[in-house]
Amino acid sequence: MTAGKGIIRADQQGIGSVLRLYRLTVPPNQRDYAWEEDHVEDLFQDFAGAIDSDKPSYFLGTIVLTQGESGLLEVSDGQQRLATTSILLAAMRDHFISTGEDELAQSLENDFLFTYDREARCRVPKLTLNVDDRQFFLNRILARPSSPERKEEAKRDSHRKIDFAAKIAAKLVRELLAPLRAEHTDSSINKATIMLPQVHQQRSRTHSTWLAGT
């Protein structure tokens, strides 16, 4: 099904699936990362609840994507949830690196955190934040733990909030994944790694070339 230009179509899709399928950017006019501790913990607890729930989906809210002039999809609304979700995914990747599960770590990185830009011939983030936060987010969150860039100092309030969210995410991942790992079952690990694609948001997207199945 194709939507005409200017048509806004609402759909339900896992928030992890949005990050997996699309390369997203936050426009310069959107605000910096602003979530406080309670916002971050609420979202992470929703994710934790989704793991324990038998429900096929878990509604978290709405994100709005629009077609930018560069050809990339721009996040008009929902960037705080997307950024915080990426922080949690990166924490999961870091946990798997620390436990020697390199293939799981690489799969998370390839599916949700980075994509390959063939024109530029380099890896680029699946989610790029606004001008003030993008480099810090790349270094503090997306870079691997062994990278020197991970030690970048937070220079802005939004950087400190990103850093704090990352610490909360690391703590949650240890609490969630350590017991699952102890069970030594692939099904338990898989349940943790596919948690986010199963958590649904209503997605409103303005686009002239909406394709069926996306």
Domain that holds residue 120: 10-195
Is 5 inside a domain boundary?
A: no
Binned at pLDDT 50, 70 and 90, residue 68 comes out as confident
Q: Is the pLDDT of residue 153 over 60?
A: yes
Give the pairing of strands 199-206 and 58-67: parallel
- Is residue 127, in this structure, part of any structural domain at all? yes
Residue 114: inside a domain: yes
Q: What's the alpha-carbon Rg for the chain, to the nearest Å?
A: 17
pTM for this entry:
0.81
> Rounded to an integer, what distance in angstroms lies between the CA atom of residue 214 and that of residue 210?
8
The verdict on residue 214 lying in a domain is no
Q: Phi-psi bin for 50: left (phi > 0), alpha (psi -120 to 50), beta?
A: alpha
Is 205 inside a domain boundary? no
Number of independent structural domains in the chain: 1
What is the C-alpha to C-alpha distance for residues 206 and 5, in angstroms, rounded to an integer? 8
pLDDT band (50, 70, 90) for residue 4:
very low
The confidence score (pLDDT) of residue 198 equals: 44
pLDDT interval class at 186 (50, 70, 90): very low
In a domain, 157, yes or no: yes
Query: Does residue 211 fall inside a structural domain?
Result: no
Residue 90 predicted with pLDDT over 60: yes
- Per residue in 5-47, pLDDT tens? 444 445 556 677 788 888 999 998 899 999 999 999 998 887 7
List pLDDT tens digits, range 99-149.
898 998 999 999 999 999 998 899 999 999 999 999 999 999 999 999 999
Four-CA torsion 143, 129, 159, 13, nearest 10 degrees: -80
Amino acid 190: pLDDT? 53
Instruction: Give the SS3 label for residue 91.
Output: helix
pLDDT at 151 over 70: yes
Q: How much of the chain exceeds pLDDT 70, in percent?
A: 70
Looking at 112-116, 124-128, 172-176, 181-185, which range is the least confident one?
A: 181-185
Read off the pLDDT of residues 188-199 as tens digits, 9 standing for 90 and up. 455 555 445 444
Residue 113 in domain: yes
